[in-house]
Each structure stands twice: as C-alpha cells, then as structure tokens.
Structure 1
C-alpha cells in the first residue's frame, strides 16, 4: 500500500490545471489579440457549466472568439442567426423523407444547430 501525501496530490492537480490553462491561453492568443478579460470570463462560464452573454459592436471578434474556444476544446460549434423568417425547425432540426437503395422510403431526422456543444445565437 502506498502512502500518498494529500497535500502533494493536491499541488500536482493544481499544477496540471495551471499548465492546461496556460496552453489554452497560448492557443487562443494565436487568434484573439487582447480581450484578456473577455476570454477569462468566457472560460469561467465554460468551466462552471453556465451560459454567457457577449455583447458589443459589430467587428469586435465575438464570433471568432466563441468559435476559437470551441476549437481549442474540440467542441462542435454552430451559429444561429436570428432573422425574422427563422422557424423553430431551423433550430431544432427537421424530418426529411429519404429513399433507400432498395426503393423504400423512410423519415430521417436531420439535427439542427441546437444539438451542437457550443451555440452562438446572433
């Protein structure tokens, strides 16, 4: 039986988190210049399992930031642009009729953007 020092194990865990955070910051800084506070707040929201509202004028790289974070974490990203003609099926998905190779027809559900890990509602 091995004796593991709880303090040392905790220190190693903290070091792994710190190292991971540095790698995340390094990857994001390749794409996002500045905006350190916005990135930090967005990462806190992500780690806490919450939602985040990002507001700002056009052209401030909000979409790029969210897309980049999704890429760093290997998450599926989708953007929903809320236009006046947007229908619920445009978000949730829809059933389409497909014909199989043997000539039979069946309904196939095509997932909408809401099934992504990270969704940007624009």
Structure 2
C-alpha cells in the first residue's frame, strides 16, 4: 500500500491511513542535501508479519526477527522512492530496546508460565 505523504518544512512524513498516530518513517532534509531518516519502532515478528504479508508470525527468535525489521525498513525506503536497497543508506544511530515477551506471562498465561 503506498504511503500518504505530508511535507512540513524540512520534514517529510510517510504514513498509512487518514489520521495516523505515528508515521512509519520521517525524513529530515539536511542543509547539505543529505537525508536523515527516522524509522518507527517495530515489535519484531508481529509487526513484520503484517508489513511484509508473511504467512507465519515469528516470536522470540531474535536471529529471525531482527532481519525482518530491517526488511520492513527496506520496503518502506523502496515505497517512498528513496532507494532500492537498505545497503544504500548509512546507519549512524540506532535506538533499540527489548521487552518482556507476551508469552509465557504470569499475568496473561499463568498455566503456560508454570510449565
């Protein structure tokens, strides 16, 4: 699905839907012509499944989920017409964090947590 695009000053917002809460990607034009790209955070396999139209959800397998996040970002870059491959951009800074898995959880799945 093609992005909706909103340009405000030196910022360009790439988003889906009519009234988004977050943009998938925000691009900031630098004075020297370079682009500073901010990608939205993803929840690994769950997000990638929808974005990449995958048949299965990968969960709790970082060796699979991390590359899926980069594939999502690459797809966004292509859809925005910024480049054809994620290898064409330089990653200067990446903010990443982990979170407690949803399952097994002592709150939402006490039986599974005991196993």
TM-score normalised to the size of structure 2?
0.27
Normalised to the residue count of structure 1, the TM-score between the two structures is: 0.26
